[in-house]
Amino acid sequence: MTIKRRTSRLLHVGSVPVGADSPITVQSMTTTKTADVDATLAQTYALSGAGADIVRITCNDVAAAQGLAEIVPRAPVPIIADIHFQYRLALAAIEAGVAGLRLNPGNIRKEEHIKAVARAASDAGIPIRVGVNAGSLDKDLLAKYGAPVPEALVESALHEIGYLEDVGFDDIKISVKHSHVPSMVESYRLLAKRIDYPLHLGVTEAGPPPGGLIKSVAGIATLLLEGIGDTIRFSLTADPVEEAKAGRKLLEYLGLRERKSLDLIACPSCGRAEVDVIEVVAEAEAALEAEGLPIQVAVMGCVVNGPGEAREADIGIAAGRGKGHLFIKGQVVRVVQESEMVEALVSEARRLVDEGVEARLAAADVSAADLAEEQAVELRSLQGDANRAAERRAAVAEAAGE
């Protein structure tokens, strides 16, 4: 399935393109005090390492703006300054050399202040994100609509865009974030019909994992699958590194970014499992994450259906009676002792990444597939066929009149 993306304008946040047909980017935000340059840089590097393409940093006072002046030239990714209430801090952030600004229409309201920032951003050649947030919506719009409904968020965004366009500024991206997922989705859908500026997606104040992750994925993934969205941020009450990891993994799972991290799939376990699947998965995930291998790995609880069901995985292992059946693209290549399952999986995964699928299939133990099938047959005879395949096939044939 290919996702047909909404057509949007192209802009650049430093060296990172956003919009048009450029890759959808991942953003996160530091939680350190910006005046603490070393701590903020350390977290910025951690976010970059976890998959963030762009990092936003608060600029809430003069000391923070001064900190940005030291942070920006040393940061591994472009830095966006987050501005609230005081427009002069936006001017200070521009002077500090940031690659972009985020302005909140709900608390920087004077037209002349907004236009002054737009002129300065234009002179500096940097974009502005109009960051509408349901929790800080302009009080006049709240009075008009009675609540932060999608129509109110969109009106706020369009009003702010008008100020920027009045002075010839159109290097704009927009967000209309809401903590209520259906309202967030509808806000972006409405806005996407009205403008062609790039859209920054997020569920604001999503909360801690796992709930915050679920809400963020529900909103962001829904829109991405509809082709809406050019850059994303998970707003979690957690270490921001978790935001970057989650955003990156979501894009990889949707096929919107090249896989650079582990994709671990596993069966949910059942009475047929020959091992503690949860324990084995946890051990395998920890070992494979440490290796940093960008592959899809399957861990299956039994050999009866495991290799076949997970045949699309790059590599996997299925548990037999005291054995582990190691498979590549559904083909069993080795049978190892149960106690060696995770070690063998990690070792073979390294070789797979280094040598490629064809080379590792060529190096397979020629007797492994036969041994695996013998054990699968043995287990079926002992446990029965949970899927009742033979019985169901006979019933289907009878219904078809054969």
Mean per-residue pLDDT for 213-240? 98
Q: Let me know whether 246 and 273 are in one domain.
A: no
The pLDDT assigned to 379 comes to: 62
Residue 260 confidence (pLDDT):
87
Tell me whether residue 235 is in a domain.
yes
Average pLDDT score over residue span 302-330: 82
253, 278, 294 - which closes a domain = 253
The two tokens of residue 368 are: 């492994």
Residue 354 lies in a domain: yes
Higher model confidence: residue 17 or residue 388?
Answer: 17
Mean pLDDT calculated for residue range 281-299: 92
Claim to verify: residue 296 and residue 244 sit in the same structural domain: no
The reported pLDDT for the residue numbered 400 is 82
Same domain, yes or no: 98 and 170: yes
pLDDT above 70 (res 304): no
Q: Considering its fold, how many domains does the chain have in total?
A: 2
- Please tell me the predicted confidence (pLDDT) of residue 386: 54
Which of 25, 14, 28 has the alpha carbon at shortest distance from 199? Answer: 25
CATH number for the domain spanning 294: value is 3.30.413.10
What is the rounded CA–CA span in Å between residue 31 and residue 274?
Answer: 44
Q: Lowest-confidence range among 49-58, 117-126, 311-320? A: 311-320
User: What average pLDDT score do residues 290-309 get?
Assistant: 82
Residues 274 and 246 in one domain: no
Between 222 and 279, the higher pLDDT residue: 222
Confidence (pLDDT) at 393: 76
Q: Which domain holds residue 149?
A: 10-253
- Residue 390 included in any domain: no
CA–CA dist 236, 395 (Å, integer)? 51
Q: Are residues 216 and 234 in the same domain?
A: yes
40 and 102 part of one domain:
yes
Q: Provide the pLDDT for residue 22.
A: 97
Residues 213 and 338 in one domain: no
398, part of any domain: no
Same structural domain, 156 and 290: no
Q: Are residues 243 and 281 in the same domain?
A: no
Q: What percent of the chain has pLDDT over 70?
A: 94
- Residues 303/325, Cβ–Cβ less than 8 Å: yes
pLDDT at 385 over 70: no
Residue 323 is assigned to a structural domain of this protein:
yes
pLDDT in tens, 390-399: 677 777 877 8
Q: Looking at the structure, tell me whether residues 98 and 246 fall in a common domain.
A: yes
Are residues 44 and 161 located together in one domain of the fold? Answer: yes
- Portion of the chain with pLDDT greater than 90, in percent: 74
Q: Do the domain assignments include residue 286? A: yes
Tens of pLDDT along 91-108?
A: 999 999 999 999 999 888
CATH assignment of the domain containing 57 = 3.20.20.20
pLDDT in tens, 326-366: 999 988 899 999 889 999 999 999 999 999 999 999 998 88
303, pLDDT greater than 90: no
Q: Is the confidence at residue 311, as pLDDT, over 90?
A: no
52 is a domain residue: yes
pLDDT over 60 (residue 387): no
What's the confidence (pLDDT) of residue 254? 96
Query: Is the same domain home to 49 and 170?
Result: yes
Tell which of 253, 275, 304 closes a domain.
253
Average pLDDT of the segment spanning 179-199: 98
The verdict on residue 236 lying in a domain is: yes
Number of residues in the chain: 402
**Pairwise pLDDT comparison (364 vs 119), residue with the higher score:** 119
